[in-house]
């Protein structure tokens, strides 16, 4: 068994408008995020957690933001690349637990859709994915933060 921890943060843009993408799900929002890719903090945290559990370099090493080829790229595409390199055929995912921290928009009606999306992307059952959304009660409104813990096991053991 191995555990990986990932987190990511993107600040709100002063010029960009939404929607935003969380867990490969489009979320209506009146503002956008500052990001080189699509700014999906949920998948970025998940990618780093998978890489950590697999003993691989982090997302910034594999997909540097100074490379034009990653500008505007879908984080689901980055996740697929990491999944194929780090997980498929070598490891199985035991569970994924994600926390999304933001004050607005409220995610209560989107959490299940995000959960289904992540399970589908990782080719695992929905009951292996936890998604929680937390607010800061107005103390923090500079952007969106996400944390993720992943447990994997080697297929050969």
Tokens of 93: 């995912």
**Residue positions counted in the chain:** 157
Q: Return the sign of the alpha-carbon dihedral for residues 149, 21, 28, 15.
A: positive
Q: Which residues contact 117 (CB under 8 A, 6 or more apart)?
A: 23, 24, 25
Q: Return the sign of the alpha-carbon dihedral for residues 58, 116, 77, 25.
A: negative
Q: Are 127 and 134 in contact (CB under 8 A)?
A: no
Taken in order of first residue, the domains within the chain and their CATH numbers are: 2-154 (3.30.1330.50)
Residues 40-99: pLDDT tens digits? 999 999 999 999 999 999 998 998 888 888 887 899 999 999 999 988 888 999 999 999
Residues 81-97: pLDDT tens digits? 999 998 888 899 999 99
Q: Can you tell me the distance from the alpha carbon of 137 to that of 149, in angstroms, rounded to the nearest whole number?
A: 24
Tokens of 15: 């010029």
DSSP string, 108-129: TTTHHHHHHHHHHHHT--GGGE
Q: Can you tell me the distance from the alpha carbon of 111 to that of 98, in angstroms, rounded to the nearest whole number?
A: 10
Residues 113-124: pLDDT tens digits? 999 999 999 999
The partner residues of 133 in beta bridges, in order of sequence, read 100
Q: Return the sign of the alpha-carbon dihedral for residues 86, 56, 147, 32.
A: negative
How is the chain split among helix, strand and coil, in percent rounded to 5?
Answer: 30, 30, 40
> What percentage of the chain has pLDDT greater than the value 90?
75
At 145 the pLDDT is 96
At 157 the pLDDT is 62
Confidence label for 18 from pLDDT (cuts 50, 70 and 90):
confident
């Amino acid at each position: 068994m191995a555990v990986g921890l990932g987190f990511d943060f993107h600040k709100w843009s002063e010029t960009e408008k939404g929607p935003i993408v969380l867990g490969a799900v489009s979320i209506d929002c009146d503002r956008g995020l500052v990001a080189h890719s699509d700014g999906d903090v949920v998948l970025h945290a998940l990618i780093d957690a998978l890489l950590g559990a697999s003993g691989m370099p982090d997302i910034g090493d594999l997909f540097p933001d100074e490379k034009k080829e990653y500008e505007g790229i879908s984080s689901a595409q980055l996740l697929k690349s990491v999944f194929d390199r780090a997980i498929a055929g070598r490891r199985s995912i035991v569970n994924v637990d994600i926390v999304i921290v933001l004050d607005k928009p409220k995610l209560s009606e989107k959490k299940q859709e995000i959960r289904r999306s992540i399970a589908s992307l990782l080719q695992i059952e929905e009951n292996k994915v936890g998604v929680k959304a937390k607010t800061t009660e107005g103390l923090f409104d500079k952007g969106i933060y996400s944390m993720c813990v992943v447990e994997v096991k080697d297929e050969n053991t």
